[in-house]
Amino acid sequence: MSQLNVNIDHVATLRQARLVEEPDPVWAAVECELGGAAGITMHLREDRRHIQPRDVRLVRQTAAVKVNLEMAMTEAMIRFAVQLKPDQVTLVPEKRRELTTEGGLDCVRQQRRLAAAVRRLRKAGIEVSAFIAPTADQAAAAADAGCQAVELHTGAYANARGPAAIARCLRALETGRDAAWQRNLIVHAGHGLNYRNIGPVAQIEALADFNIGHSIIARSVFVGLRQATRQMIELLGAYGGPSGIE
Ligand code: PXP
């Protein structure tokens, strides 16, 4: 059964625009939970452009739902995570100049470094997922490095225009899922998903978690975060995911 983790980074983006105290991502996490989210996702970036260490610590202490920390595979971040012990870490590539995470982690080229990071995180009791392009070789390399899960990058699907390109991207996601399944990995998905494009992806069988941020936070400006969360859950439910909450 699929579940929704709301990525609350852009609540922090708005706060950091003025370097003040509001809106507080900790409040946002509560609203997402009240809207039925199964988890909260945050990306603590090296440049600290949105989420701050304080946010992650407080959400970890207060959220009753799953906490998924997105992070780069750096020594400082590994130490932070081992101390914080989120339920899950999602390892992502990080470039300073990017607007958002652009590509998947190259688990093939970075397999040794990845395996060392995964070992330390798992020893701390943290479930480790790698954000990957939906290909068989990336899924296999993530499994070989000891990851328990992968998050399939849906950015290419979200950017695809025209039925043929969209169908090609959906097939790629299924290929990635199948390869991950063969290696007994849990399969999540995320990036660029919104209220208009979620349908076909939600129909892909047996995706576990959807990590969705920008579109939900954008809609929350108009309908509130609790309602925006609820609406996304309803769409996931309508296409075969959970029925959401009342
Ligand atoms: N999954 C990962 C690994 C991400 O890096 C991001 C963006 O932070 C998301 C999901 C959410 O993407 P979006 O904000 O486009 O929904």
pLDDT greater than 90 at residue 239:
no
Is 208 in contact with 181 (CB distance < 8 Å)?
no
- Counting Cα atoms < 13 Å in the Cβ hemisphere of 146 gives 16
Is 231 in contact with 110 (CB distance < 8 Å)?
no
Q: Is 70 a catalytic residue?
A: yes
Counting from 1 in the atom list of ligand 1, the atom nearest the Cα of 155 is: 15
For 62-116, the pLDDT digits (tens) are 999 999 999 999 999 999 999 999 999 999 998 767 776 678 999 999 999 999 9
Mean pLDDT of 170-189: 97
For residues 34 and 203, give the distance between their C-alpha atoms in angstroms, rounded to a whole number. 25
Residue 211 alpha carbon to ligand 1 centre in Å: 6
Give the other-Cβ count within 10 Å of 245's Cβ.
Answer: 13
Residue 191 alpha carbon to ligand 1 centre in Å: 4
Report the topology of domain 3-238. Answer: TIM Barrel (3.20.20)
| CA distances in angstroms from 6 to 76, 129, 163, 190, listed in the order given | 25, 16, 28, 10
For 21-59, the pLDDT digits (tens) are 999 999 999 999 999 999 999 999 999 999 999 999 999
Catalytic residue among 10, 31, 33, 43: 43
Instruction: Report the candidate in 104, 154, 155 with the shortest Cα–Cα distance to residue 131.
Output: 104
